[in-house]
Amino acid sequence: METLKIPEWLKQGGQPVCAGAVIREGFIEKNLKAVSSFLKEMLSVRNPASGPAGGLFQGVSARARIGGVFVLLVGAVFMDNAISLFFLISTVIFIACLSHAGLFPLLKRVVPAVIFSLVVIWPVFFNFFTAGREFLVFDIFGSRVALTEEGLFQGGFFILRVTATASLVSLLFLTAKEADIFGGLKGLGVPAFFVTAIFMTFRYVFILLKIVEDTSLARKSRTINPAVMRDGKRWFSSRAGFLLQRALYFSEEVTLSMAARGFTGRIKVFASVPLRGKDYLWLGFAFFVFFMSIGRF
Q: Which residues in the 129-188 window bind other proteins by CB under 8 A?
A: 129-130, 150, 153-155, 157-158, 161-162, 164-166, 169-170, 173, 181
Judge contact between 223 and 231, C-beta under 8 A.
Answer: no
Asked whether position 243 contacts other proteins by CB under 8 A, the answer is yes
Question: If residue 204 lies in a helix (H) or strand (E), which one and from where to where?
Answer: helix 192-221
Q: Which residues of 219-238 are buried (b: 16+ CB within 10 A; e: fewer)?
A: beeebeeebeeebbeebbee
Options 5-13, 89-97, 134-142, 285-293: segment touching other proteins (CB under 8 A): 285-293
Looking at residues 208 to 237 of the shown chain, list those that interact with other proteins (rule: CB under 8 A).
208-209, 212, 229, 233, 236-237
Options 7, 16, 20, 265; binder of other proteins; rule CB under 8 A = 265
| Distance, CA of 92 to chain centre | 18
Whole-angstrom distance, CA of residue 223 vs CA of residue 248 = 29
Asked whether position 80 contacts other proteins by CB under 8 A, the answer is yes
Residue type (1 letter), 212: V
**Contact string (CB under 8 A) for other proteins, positions 96-135, x = contact:** -------------xx-xx--xx---x--x----xx-----
Asked whether position 9 contacts other proteins by CB under 8 A, the answer is no
Asked whether position 284 contacts other proteins by CB under 8 A, the answer is yes
Asked whether position 87 contacts other proteins by CB under 8 A, the answer is no
Question: If residue 252 lies in a helix (H) or strand (E), which one and from where to where?
Answer: helix 229-260
Q: How far is CA 26 from CA 33, 149, 231, in A?
A: 11, 43, 10
CB of 158 to other proteins, least distance (A): 7
Asked whether position 88 contacts other proteins by CB under 8 A, the answer is no
Query: How would DSSP label each residue in 234-250?
Result: HHHHHHHHHHHHHHHHH
Question: If residue 174 lies in a helix (H) or strand (E), which one and from where to where?
Answer: helix 149-174
Looking at residues 36 to 65 of the shown chain, list those that interact with other proteins (rule: CB under 8 A).
38-39, 42-43
Options 23, 40, 41, 77; binder of other proteins; rule CB under 8 A = 77
CB of 205 to other proteins, least distance (A): 5
CB of 136 to other proteins, least distance (A): 20
CB of 19 to other proteins, least distance (A): 29
Angle at 72 between CA 297 and CA 124, to 5 degrees: 70
Question: If residue 105 lies in a helix (H) or strand (E), which one and from where to where?
Answer: helix 103-121
Options 2-10, 50-58, 88-96, 250-258: segment touching other proteins (CB under 8 A): 250-258
Options 9, 78, 86, 135; binder of other proteins; rule CB under 8 A = 78
Options 59, 135, 202, 220; binder of other proteins; rule CB under 8 A = 202
Q: How far is CA 114 from CA 24, 71, 126, 254, 289, in A?
A: 30, 22, 19, 40, 23
Options 27, 94, 128, 138; binder of other proteins; rule CB under 8 A = 27
Alpha helices in 176-191 (DSSP H): 178-187
CB of 291 to other proteins, least distance (A): 3
Judge contact between 100 and 51, C-beta under 8 A.
Answer: no
